[in-house]
Homo-oligomer: A and B are copies of this chain.
């Protein structure tokens, strides 16, 4: 049994799709996901800066789509491993209650005991960390796994998991 720390945004919750959805609903332009590849998160949209503001808007975190496969694989991981959800939620205080409600909705099998909302993730003691940001993975003492997201496609030097199926193949 290993302890696995799993990030929310960009790993369980589809942040990129939510940026695209909210941008289309507010500015009438449907941005192609492919056009965001390799660009820093929240950038690459016609109007610069507005997507960053979504992060401070009530409802943004609450309504993110679920990344396919995450529910099934995390449920299976829980049966074999010690699974913690570790989200850097403190930067956006209004996201705390929204993220908790989102987890209850989509991952009701995860106990509150195993949820961590933090800032720096260097305080996390685990065997594996699945995250889409190297700022979180770079200080991790266990084995980091970079979950592929549009903003990190050009990142090198980390073991990568592209889908939840790949996570399952590795850890189940």
Contacts and interface: CB of A to CB of B under 8 A. Distances in A.
Interface of A: 3, 5, 84, 86, 89-91, 93, 96-97, 100, 111-120, 122-126, 141
B119 A90 contact: no
Q: How many copies does the complex hold?
A: 2
Given A100-B90, A125-B141, A117 B114 contact: no
A59 to B, nearest CB: 16
A77 B84 CA distance: 29
Given A90-B100, A123-B124, 8 more contacts: A84-B123, A86-B123, A90-B113, A90-B117, A97-B97, A112-B119, A116-B117, A123-B125
A99 to B, nearest CB: 9
A123 B117 contact: no
Contact of A93 (B100, B114, B124, B126): B100
Nearest to A84: B123
B117 A118 contact: yes
10 smallest A-B Cβ distances: which pairs?
A: A113-B119, A125-B125, A90-B112, A96-B96, A116-B118, A117-B117, A113-B120, A112-B119, A90-B115, A93-B100
Given A3-B123, A123-B125, A97 B93 contact: yes
Given A96-B97, A97-B97, A141-B125, A91 B112 contact: yes
Contacts of A91: 112
Contacts of A119: 111-116
Contacts of A112: 90-91, 93, 119
Nearest to A91: B112
